Every structure is written in C-alpha cells, then in structure tokens.
Amino acid sequence: MSTMTDPPQSAFRVSMLLSDTRYRGYTFQAIALFCLIIAMAYLGMNLVRNLAAAGLNISYNFLGAPAGYDINQRLIEYDSQSTHGQAAIVGILNTLLVAFLGIITATVLGVTAGVLRLSNNWLVSKMMSIYVEAFRNVPVLIWILVINGLVTQMASPREYRGDDATSSMWLDAVAFTNRGVYIPAPVWNDGSMIVVLTFFASIVAIFAYRRYVRNLLYTTGKLLPTFLPSIGLLIVPTILMFYIMGQPVGLDYPELKGFNFQGGTQIGRPLIALWLALSVYTGAFIAENVRAGILAIPRGQSEAAASLGMRPGRVMNLVVLPQALRVIIPPLISQYLNIAKNSSLAIAVGYADITATLGGITLNQTGRAIESVLLLMLFYLFISLSISAVMNIYNNSVKLQER
Amino acid sequence: MADNNTNPIAYMRETPLPQLDPPASEAGLGHWVRQNLFSSVLNTVLTLAAFVSLYFIFTSTVPWFVNGVWQSESIRGCREVLEGATGGCFAVLTERWNQLLFGFTYSDDQYWRPTLAFALLFVAIAPVLFVALPRKMLYFTLLYPLLAFYLIWGGSIYATISTGLGFVVGYLVYSRFVASSFALGLIGGVVAAFVTWWLGGFVVDAIAPATPFLEEIPSRKMGGFMLNMILGVVCVSLSLPLGIALALGRQSRLPIIRIICVVFIEFVRGVPLITLLFVANVILGYFLPPDTNFDLILRVIIMITMFSAAYIAEVIRGGLAALPTGQYEAGDSLGLDYAQSMRLIILPQALKISIPGIVNVAVGLFKDTTLVSVISMFDLVGMIRGPILASTEWNGVYWELFMAAAVLFFVVCYGISQYSQWLERKLATDHR
C-alpha cells in the first residue's frame, strides 16, 4: 500500500528568486519598481536643478492675479480685471458648453446618417457613404478651419444696415453674420420661476406615467398609449402656467445699433465653427457605430419577432433596438469622450476654452508652464475618467446575465 | 392502337414554350429606379431631398472648379484672369506645391532626397502588407529605417552605419542567449547595442569627413506634408513594440507592473494630444539634464509615440482578451515559460485579431499629426496657415489650399483603411 504525501517543501533559498516561478515575479516587480523610482528621481532632480538655474519655483499664486485679457464668449461674469483663476473657470465652462452642444448634434447627425446609410434608397445610402468617408479620413483640424472659413464668408453686420440692406434677419429674430449668430435671449421676470418649475415637474410626471403604464401592462396586460400623452405632458402644463402667470418669460431680440447687433445672445463665430466641425466629424464616426450596431443583430431576431405577430415599430423598439444599443453605446460614449478632448482644438480658431485660456494666454503671460499644463491635464483627466465611470456603470447594467 | 386508348390526353405540348421577357415593370432601368429610389413615400421624399441638395452642391462647386485659374503669380493675377467670375485660384497650388510638400526652409536642390525616401517606403512596406511577395524583400524593410534616416537628415554616413551596427550586434547577442532565457537574451542584446553605439560614437567623431556625401539637414527645416509623413510613420512604428509591451504589462499577474501600465495608459488616453504637445514644447526641457538640447521634432516624436502606444496597447489588450483561455493553458501545458508562450502562441494570434484596430489607430494618429501646427511647427496645415496665407501674394486664397490638404490626407487615410478592410476579409479564417 502506498501513501500519498505532498512533496517535501524545500526551504527558501536566495537563488529561487531567479529560478523558481513562484518567487521570480517578486524579483521582476522589485526591478521594475527600482527602475521607476530611479527614473522619477532622475527627472525630479533635473526639474529641481533646471528650476533653480532659471530662478523659478512651483507656485499656484498666479491663479489669483488679475488676468488682464478679455474673453468674448463667456457664460459667467468676467472682465479683464478678473483673475487667471476666473479665466480658467470661464474656459472650463466654455469647454463643457461646446462639448455638450457637439454631443447633441453629433448624435442626431450620426444616428440619422447611420440609419440612412442602411436605407434601401440607393442615392441616399451612397451620399451617406460619401459623407462618412470624407469626414472620417480628413483631420478634424482641417474641418474646423474650413468651417471657420465658411462662417467668415457670411454677411457682415454692415450688410444689414440702411434701406438697401442686402441681408435681413430671419423672422426678425435671428441674424447670421460673420461675427456669429445673434438669437433672442430669454428675459426672466417675476414668476418665471414657477413656469420653469412646472416644466421640470412635467418631466417627472412623464417618467411616472410611463412607469405606471409599464406596471399596468405587466400586471393586467392592458396597454395604454405612451407617446402622445408624453408629448402632451411635456408641453401643455408649461404653456398653461405661462399664460396663468401673465407671460413672465419674455424675449430680448437682437437689434442693429451702429455697426453691430445689440441685445439678444451672441453665439460667436469660433463657437459655431468648432461646434459644427466637431459635430459633422464625430457624426461620421457615430454613423459607423450605429450602422455596425444595427448590422450586428441577426436577421433571425427581427424575423422571430415578426413571426410572433409583432408590428414593425414594436419589433424595432422591443427586439432590435435593445440589442443594438448594447453594441452601439460603448463606442458612442468613447466618441463623446473624443468630442470633449477634440474641443481642445478651439485654440486654432480662437474660442476661449480651457486650453486657450489656461494653456494659452495665461501660460504665455505668466510663464507658469508646468503649473498650467498640469492643471489642464488634470481637468481633462477628470472629464475622461468621469465619462469612463459612467460607461462602466452602463456596461455592467446591460451585461448579459450568463450562467 | 391509338383508338384503344380510352382516356386519351386531349392535348400535350411536345416542345417547351420559349422563355418570355420579364414584365417591363420588373426589369430594366425603370424597375431599378422604382425599387431603389421611389419604393415608398418616405423614399421618394428622401430621393427628392437628395437631388435638391446635390443640385445646390454642384451649382456652387462646379463653376468654381471649371473656371479655376492654374497659372498665375499671385491672387491679384487670378482676379484679373477671372474678371469677376466665380472661380478658384488654384495657381497657389502650382506655385507653392513644393512648399506644401517640403516646408519653406528645405533646400530646393535636396527635394529628391525625401522624395526618394518616400518612394522607397512603398518598396519597404510592401512585403509587410502583402504576404504573397518574396520574403527576401524583408531584408530591405529592415534596412529601410536607416536608409530613410540618412536620406532625409543626411550628415556623416558613419553615424548611420554605426547605428545599424549597434542593431546587428544587439541582435547577434540576443540570438546567442535567447535559447537559454528570453530575458537574458533581451537584456544582453540591449546592452550590447548600447555598448556598440557608445564605442561607435568615438570612431564616428574621429573619422567624420569635413564634407559629408549628403549634406546634413537640421530637423527644424522639415515641414509640409513631409513632416506629417515623418511623424506618422516614425511614431506608428515606434509605438507598436511599446504598445505590445504595455498591453502585456496590463494583462500581467504581477500587481506592480500592472499598476504602472494601467496608470500610464489611462493617463495618456485621458488627456488630449494637444496637452501632450504642450508638454513637448514647453515642459519636457525642464525634465532633461540642463545641457541636453533635444530638438523640437524629437520631443514631439517622443510624446506622440507615447500617445499612440497607449491607444495601441488598448487595441492589443482587446486582442489578448479575445483569445480563448485554452490557448494560454495550451502554452502552459506544453511547458513553455511566459516569454515563449507569448512569443510563439499568444501574440501571433492576438496581433492578427488586432490588425484592424491598430490600423484605425494609425489612421487617427496620422490625422492627429496636423495638431503640431498648434505649437508652431510648419506641417501641411501649419504651412497653409502660416507662411502661405500670410504672404502678400496669396493672402485670401483659402478654400483651394485647405481642399488640397484635405485631398492629400483623404488619399492616404482612405487608402490605409481600404487596405485594412481587404486584410480583414483575407484573415477571416473562421467559419461563418
């Protein structure tokens, strides 16, 4: 009879750090850590020596000093007496603004183009292919500059003047000029708060209603319409409240005074150029993602749904889209990330985003290169990591539950 | 006998009928148009909208093209020729073509050098792209980086030879020791190469001729589309090995190595390229020893390589993750160590899956090389925005130049992506 025993455990010897796979990993990691520390120390020592030689130090006090430059496109109060820190905040808000606008239009454009590229209309699908290929294969910087040039070619405010004006405002409210687009600005009077609150309350009500409809469907099998009631809930209470409160929200129309338009809101030319260019460029990529996502759903899925007697709209909503979205959304979110990062090209057309304020004018005026670029990188890193975190949460929520 | 048949078949055709043409509504151009353009109300609306937009696009661009002026001294000359009619001033392209391609400080009589390097690039890259070509051509591919470097930068040929010698010695040492241990071979090869370069430095300085065979051209003179090509090709080739190393590091079981790789990859992917270029432009100098003087192009190459390596690492990580676990286990069960199983089993398959992704990164990177114009380097876009648009002759010519730039980039990028799709179809060995 034989007995089974573990092989005798040999005592640890120093040579096992190289020869034994159980311990070799520690050796490699120690070497890697050592090299990393040496490299960091080397770079750090160089930094200290270079800074000492140039008589510089690392300090963030410049953020509190007056900036001394003006920013045309801004969302918050800012003038040339404000500090560099405030200029950076204006830049951050501008980056977020153009990223937000770009994401919305790029999604609309991309989904439309992606769906149309799959259409059985030969002409339309070919045109969409040309759009996608043309924009995907040319640098976004070129598109930004080209669209900036297009906006520059629009009528100057001068052409709106006098009796023989060659241009006129659209609906007397919107003016397209080479300095940007002037649109009416809302004026918030007393009581406008209630209207806004009503609007938000009706959005909540829509979600509540849809939830009620779904529960009703699951418990009783009775299906109520959702689309029209949702639209109604969105519009009707707000409009009613608007008239009940005596029309508290007015509009401030842009008017031609002197050489330029006054009043209203100006959407500056750089913002328009950057916004449109990012939208059409990223839209082309999103179109490809959407097309790939729809093509990834086997035809059998929609055929199976049809054979169960579902109507085409419901096949799309309940069978194809939920599966396609699982494929589409992760690359879509990384495209959103690209919009946020590509918005740093604002510096090429003079849009005052964070790269142009903190990484451009502030850096050049104060000479604080290390501090400015570090803050700039941290900001973009924060945005990217937040978007990635959202994506991970989404991915986990739609992950197929496999056994 | 015939009348005995009680149930005769009343009629039977003995020859088949000739085939009829399909109905006119189901064939020919009319059918195609109805099927593809006007099959439903929505389709009809779409088609009409497409026609209207095509009409506007053509009426606004065709006269501009057809009336274009190709021969003129300046934009005023164009305007005189056009006499108020709509037309492009394409003369700027013919006049400044060399500047667009090579930048404005590169000597005229040396243009043949980058042109030759560009032409040889196709010879060098062909055996990599097309497996059907003779494998012997790969020797030229190995030689090409040195050749191209010497052609473009020039200077003492001994420096180039010494660089090549370092690689040869390193490879010999590596192949001598790799059989016993991969790590030993790699470290030995790297050390041997550096020793060779260090020794070669003395020799090259001693025997450098006063007038080199090819005149030395400093990198600050590089510009135009050539600069985009240099940055694109160099950075993609350098970032491939780095990306593979990062991807393997990120998949590693050793926590410290994994953390280093993850932090590097996520940091680089989280910031826009333009901030990395700012680093190359204004910050990198602070981190180098006080007496070193890297030129800007080298600093930019370092940062762009880091940038694309992080993206390539993510693509390859996808390839590594897509391999079935059985492949890793097969390597282990054959008794291969980590380096062997990666080199012989895992990476060949993972890289094959990752090729389309890598090509996508390469195309994106090539497009992103235009960003160097923001840190005032005169690449193609920088040339247009800087010297050409600012000159008195061509101030005001806008569309023609950017169109030309867009066409140049489109040709390269579309070509690469078409190749990638062809390769993807060819490599699709799985059954569908």
Tens-place pLDDT, residues A285-304: 999 999 988 888 888 998 99
Under CATH, what is the fold of the domain B91-106+219-427? MetI-like fold (1.10.3720)
Residue B112 CB burial class (10 angstroms; 0-12, 13-18, ≥19): exposed
Task: Tell me which residue of A279, A133, A117 sits closest to B46, measured CA to CA.
Answer: A117
Calculate how close chain B gets to A395, using CA atoms only, in Å.
16
User: In this complex, do A43 and B43 lie within 8 Å of one another by their Cβ atoms?
Assistant: no
Distance (Å, rounded) from C-alpha A227 to C-alpha B64?
48
Query: What is the ipTM for the molecules in this complex?
Result: 0.86
Per-residue confidence at B245, pLDDT binned at 50, 70, 90?
A: very high
Distance (Å, rounded) from C-alpha A171 to C-alpha A33?
67
A306's tokens: 């049809």
pLDDT at B307: 93
| Contacts by A304-308, CB closer than 8 A, 24 or more apart | none
pLDDT at A363: 84
Centre a 10 Å sphere on the Cβ of residue A277 and count the other Cβ atoms it contains.
26
Distance (Å, rounded) from C-alpha B345 to C-alpha B329?
10
User: In this complex, do A344 and B409 lie within 8 Å of one another by their Cβ atoms?
Assistant: no
Lowest mean pLDDT among A54-68, B199-213, B262-276, B399-413: B199-213
Centre a 10 Å sphere on the Cβ of residue B126 and count the other Cβ atoms it contains.
13
pLDDT at A68: 78
* Rounded average pLDDT over B290-319: 88
Rg over alpha carbons for chain A, rounded to the nearest Å, is 29
- With a cut of 70, say whether residue A259 has pLDDT above it: no
Residue A274 CB burial class (10 angstroms; 0-12, 13-18, ≥19): buried
User: In this complex, do B272 and A342 lie within 8 Å of one another by their Cβ atoms?
Assistant: yes
Taking chain B, what is the end-to-end CA distance rounded to the nearest angstrom? 61
Q: What percent of chain B has pLDDT over 70?
A: 96
Q: Does B267 touch chain A (CB under 8 A)?
A: yes
Q: Does B61 touch chain A (CB under 8 A)?
A: no
Distance (Å, rounded) from C-alpha B159 to C-alpha B136?
26
- Cα separation values, B32 from B37, B42, B47, Å: 8, 17, 14
Residue type, A269: R
Torsion angle in degrees (nearest 10) through CA of A133, A136, A139, A142: 60
> pTM for the full model?
0.85
pLDDT at B228: 92
A248 contact partners, CB below 8 Å, separation of at least 6: A188, A189, A190, A191, A192, A194, A195, A242
Calculate how close chain B gets to A8, using CA atoms only, in Å.
22
Per residue in A380-391, pLDDT tens? 999 988 988 888
Calculate how close chain A gets to B70, using CA atoms only, in Å.
21
Lowest mean pLDDT among A17-21, A43-47, B341-345: A17-21
Greater confidence (A77 vs A170) lies with: A77
User: In this complex, do B37 and A123 lie within 8 Å of one another by their Cβ atoms?
Assistant: yes
For chain A, what's the residue count? Answer: 403
- Cα separation values, B170 from A150, A243, B134, Å: 55, 83, 26
- With a cut of 90, say whether residue A110 has pLDDT above it: yes
Q: Which of B260, B286, B402 sits opposite A142 (nearest CB)?
A: B402
* Rounded average pLDDT over B267-285: 89
Per residue in B61-96, pLDDT tens? 888 888 888 888 888 888 888 887 777 888 888 888
- With a cut of 50, say whether residue B432 has pLDDT above it: no
Q: List, as one string, the DSSP characters of A298-361.
A: -HHHHHHHHHTT--HHHIIIIIIHHHHHHHHHHHHHHHHHHHHHHGGGGGGTT---HHHIIIII
Q: CB of A90 within 8 A of CB of A73?
A: no
Mean per-residue pLDDT of chain B: 85
Per-residue confidence at B1, pLDDT binned at 50, 70, 90?
A: very low
Instruction: Using DSSP bridges, classify how beta strands A175-177 and A185-188 pair: parallel, antiparallel or unpaired.
Output: unpaired
Q: CB of A293 within 8 A of CB of A327?
A: yes
Contact list in A for residue B257 (CB cut-off 8 A) is 28-29, 32
pLDDT at B3: 53
Contact list in A for residue B373 (CB cut-off 8 A) is 141, 348
Mean per-residue pLDDT of chain A: 83
A205's tokens: 């009500």
Task: Tell me which residue of A245, A360, A338, A218 sits closest to A289, measured CA to CA.
Answer: A338
Q: Does B187 touch chain A (CB under 8 A)?
A: no
Per residue in A200-251, pLDDT tens? 898 999 999 989 988 988 888 887 888 888 888 888 888 888 888 777 777 7
Helices (H) and strands (E) counted in chain B, each on its own, are: 18, 0
CA A375 from centroid of its chain's CA atoms: 20
User: In this complex, do A122 and B413 lie within 8 Å of one another by their Cβ atoms?
Assistant: no
Domain range summary for chain B, segments of one domain joined by +: 1-66, 91-106+219-427, 156-213
Q: Among A4-18, B43-57, B130-144, name the most confident range.
A: B43-57
A30 contact partners, CB below 8 Å, separation of at least 6: none
Calculate how close chain A gets to B220, using CA atoms only, in Å.
22
For chain B, what's the residue count? Answer: 432
pLDDT at B63: 85
Per residue in A116-155, pLDDT tens? 888 888 888 999 999 999 999 999 999 999 988 888 877 7
Give A399's DSSP letter.
Answer: -
pLDDT at A226: 80
Centre a 10 Å sphere on the Cβ of residue A50 and count the other Cβ atoms it contains.
16
Per residue in B155-168, pLDDT tens? 777 888 888 888 89
Element (H, E) at B296: helix B296-322
Residue of A344, A383, A387 to mutate, testing the B interface (most B Cβ within 10 Å of its Cβ): A344
